[in-house]
A = this chain, B = another copy of it.
Amino acid sequence: MLIVMKKNATDHQVREVVEAVEKRGYTAHAIPGGERVSIGILYNKGSVDAGHFLGFGGVKEVIPVTKPYKLVSREFRQENTQIRVGDAVFGNGTMPVIAGPCAVESLDQVLRIAESVKKAGAKLFRGGAFKPRTSPYSFQGLGLTGLEHLTRVREATGLPVVTEAMDVETFDMVEAHADVIQIGTRNMQNFSLLRRAGKAKKPIILKRGMSAMLQEWLMAAEYIMEEGNSEVILCERGVRTFVRHSRNTLDLSVVPAAKKESHLPIIVDPSHAAGIRDQVVPLAFASAALGVDGLMIEVHNHPEEALSDGAQSLYPDQFAHTMKKLTDIRSIIESS
């Protein structure tokens, strides 16, 4: 941490800050500048709360240097974390694709979609049984019945299943049925849920919050890892910006940035970012070329009749065609 003093800060003010730093057990190091003094805080374990010193007299600015995360950081662990689920590995340079409908609507629906996405090359099946919905009047998911349908999908197709856990109360139930548990965008900083996910024996897909900084996202992953679960897959799904031509703005630059800071695998969900089918396919291609560790794509056999997110779901044929191109793009990227 660097504490920058105002030009006209008095020696007394500098001393007060130095004392406050040392009172907290850190080492303070005054750095004379051309026109002002700065004070470095050294030998701190982990990060120091920047806000703490901001209110002192004579202080102009406080600049954090050390990042607050540990377990998730690339400095803590240099090699990529690899997470194996069924045939798929996230983090080893390949790009497993997770596909399926937004919500589990019926057994027949999920079985049909699962067959077709498996045939097209998807490695995991997705489908929501518990659906966090903006409106209390929207379809909230089939709950336990939905989870049971997913179990049938696994039995019938061999595909591992990914589904969302919305709260601590139903987490056990989800954990019993899922192969990978998803924490949704709106729950990225639901810290009680993150702690529970940290005790799970299954890998977690942690979706980025609607306006989460990279650092906040990594701190959310840190909550999970700190409880003992080191299998966390980050998932970029678009962030909220001023833009209105897509539902969210897919932030692909977060992928290389996250890989630089963290050893965790990172996948992309172009469906929720786009909100409309026409944009999903090009954004999937872009993600593949970028070198992501996986993709999550919504597919529905009758998008027009989907109970949620129909407009962004691909038709099965469209998905199959997309998968072929994705494989080709990927073969180029992997051969670097």
Q: A256-B278, A332-B332 are in contact. Are A211 and B211 (CB under 8 A)?
A: yes
Residue in contact with A51 in the complex, picked from B133, B252, B310, CB distance below 8 Å: B310
Whole-angstrom distance between the Cβ of A295 and the nearest chain B Cβ:
12
Please, how many angstroms separate the alpha-carbon atoms of A325 and B291 in the complex?
12
A240 proximal to B (CB < 8 A): yes
* Partner-contacting stretch, out of A80-88, A109-117, A163-171, A173-181: A163-171
CB within 8 Å of B: which A2-41 residues = 2, 4, 6-8, 20, 29, 31-36, 38, 40
Please, how many angstroms separate the alpha-carbon atoms of A149 and B155 in the complex?
54
Q: Which residues of B contact A38 (CB under 8 A)?
A: 2, 40, 65
Q: What are the nearest 6 A-B pairs in CB distance?
A: A289-B289, A54-B311, A167-B192, A211-B211, A186-B189, A245-B257
Q: A242-B241, A283-B290 are in contact. Are A223 and B136 (CB under 8 A)?
A: yes
Contact yes or no, B211 A310, CB < 8 A: no
Contact yes or no, A52 B283, CB < 8 A: no
Contact yes or no, B191 A133, CB < 8 A: yes
Contact yes or no, B46 A137, CB < 8 A: yes
A287 proximal to B (CB < 8 A): yes
A151 proximal to B (CB < 8 A): no
A68 proximal to B (CB < 8 A): yes
Please, how many angstroms separate the alpha-carbon atoms of A138 and B222 in the complex?
12
Q: Which residues of B contact A282 (CB under 8 A)?
A: 252, 255-256, 289-291
Contact yes or no, B304 A55, CB < 8 A: yes
Whole-angstrom distance between the Cβ of A227 and the nearest chain B Cβ:
8
Please, how many angstroms separate the alpha-carbon atoms of A213 and B88 in the complex?
38
| A contacts with B, residue count (CB < 8 A) | 113
Q: A133-B191, A219-B134, A303-B55 are in contact. Are A169 and B166 (CB under 8 A)?
A: no
A231 proximal to B (CB < 8 A): no
A126 proximal to B (CB < 8 A): no
**Centre residue among A33, A276, A283, A289 by max chain B CB count within 10 A:** A289
A156 proximal to B (CB < 8 A): no
Please, how many angstroms separate the alpha-carbon atoms of A136 and B224 in the complex?
9
Contact yes or no, A136 B56, CB < 8 A: no
A317 proximal to B (CB < 8 A): no
Q: Which residues of B contact A191 (CB under 8 A)?
A: 132-133, 136, 166, 186
A120 proximal to B (CB < 8 A): no
Contact yes or no, B54 A135, CB < 8 A: no
Q: Which residues of B contact A135 (CB under 8 A)?
A: 47, 68-69, 219, 222
Contact yes or no, B192 A166, CB < 8 A: yes
Please, how many angstroms separate the alpha-carbon atoms of A47 and B29 in the complex?
22
A320 proximal to B (CB < 8 A): no
Please, how many angstroms separate the alpha-carbon atoms of A137 and B79 in the complex?
24
A190 proximal to B (CB < 8 A): yes
**What 0/1 pattern do residues 183 to 196 of A give for CB contact below 8 A with B?**
00011011111000
A42 proximal to B (CB < 8 A): yes
A89 proximal to B (CB < 8 A): no
